[in-house]
A and B are shown apart, each in its own frame.
Chain A
Amino acid sequence: MIDFKNITLQVRQQTLLDGTTLHIADGEKVVVRGASGCGKSSLLKSTVGAIPLATGSVCADGVELSPETVSDIRARIAFIGQEPVLGAEHVRDAILLPFTFKVHSANPPGEDRILELLERLHLPSAILEKPCKRISGGEKQRIAILRALLLDKTIFLADEVTSALDPESRAAVMTELFRPDITLLSVSHDPEWIAACDRTVEIQNTKLQEISRQGAQKTQEKQVLSSLRSFAANKTRRDGHDC
Chain B
Amino acid sequence: MTADLSIPAMLSMYALMLVPLAVFFYLQLGIIRDTLLAMARMTVQLLLVGLYLKYIFQLNNPLVSLLWVTVMLVVANLSILNKAGLKRDLFFWRSLAGVAGSTLLVSGWFILVAIRPDPIYDARYMVPIVGMILGNCLRSNVLSLERFYSGIRRNENEFMTYLLLGATLREAVRPYLRDAIKAAVNPSVATMATMGIVSLPGMMTGQILGGACRPPPLNTRSAS
**What residues of chain A have their CB less than 8 Å away from a CB belonging to chain B?**
48, 50, 71, 74-75, 79, 81, 83-87, 97-98, 100-104, 147, 151
A-B pairs with beta carbons under 8 Å apart, 11 shown: A50-B164, A71-B168, A74-B163, A74-B164, A74-B165, A81-B157, A85-B157, A85-B158, A87-B161, A98-B165, A104-B166
Residues on the B chain within 8 Å of A102, using CB: 168, 171
Contact with A along B3-37 (1 / 0, CB 8 A): 00000000000000000000000000000000000
Residues of A within 8 A of B164 (CB): 48, 50, 74, 79
Closest 5 CB pairs of A and B: A98-B165, A103-B166, A85-B161, A101-B167, A85-B157
Contacts of A100 in B (CB 8 A): 171
Cα(A83)–Cα(B156), bound, Å: 13
A-binding residues in B (CB < 8 A): 157-158, 160-168, 171
Which residue from chain B places its CB closest to the CB of A77 in the assembled complex? B164
| Assembly CA distance A104 to B166 (angstroms) | 8
Q: CA A102 – CA B167 in complex, angstroms? A: 7
Task: Give the residue among A71, A87, A102, A103 with the most B Cβ atoms within 10 A.
Answer: A87
Total number of A-B contacts with CB less than 8 angstroms? 45
Of chain A, the residue at the smallest CB distance from B167 is A101
Are B157 and A97 in contact, CB atoms less than 8 angstroms apart? no
The DSSP consensus for interface residues of chain B is helix
Kindly state the separation between the CA atoms of A81 and B160 in the bound complex, as whole angstroms.
Answer: 11
Measured CB to CB, the closest approach of chain B to A117, in angstroms, equals: 16
Nearest-neighbour CB distance to chain B for A41, whole angstroms, equals 12
Contacts of A97 in B (CB 8 A): 162, 165
A101 / chain B contacts, CB cutoff of 8 Å: 162, 165-168, 171
* Given contact pairs A87-B161, A98-B166, a sample of 6 additional A-B residue pairs in the complex whose CB atoms are under 8 Å apart: A50-B163, A74-B165, A81-B161, A85-B157, A87-B165, A101-B165
| Cα distance, A71 to B168, chains bound together (Å) | 7
Q: Which residues of B sit under 8 angstroms from A48, Cβ to Cβ?
A: 164
A87–B160 Cα distance when bound, in Å, is 10
- The smallest beta-carbon distance between A204 and chain B, in angstroms, is 28
A87 adjacent to B166 (CB under 8 Å): no
Q: Give chain B residues whose Cβ lies under 8 Å from the Cβ of A85.
A: 157-158, 160-161
- Nearest-Cβ distance from residue A49 to partner chain B, whole angstroms: 9
CA distance A74 to B158 in the complex (A): 15
Q: How far is the CA of A111 from the CA of B63 in the complex (A)?
A: 67
- Alpha-carbon distance between A81 and B171 when the two chains are bound, in angstroms: 21
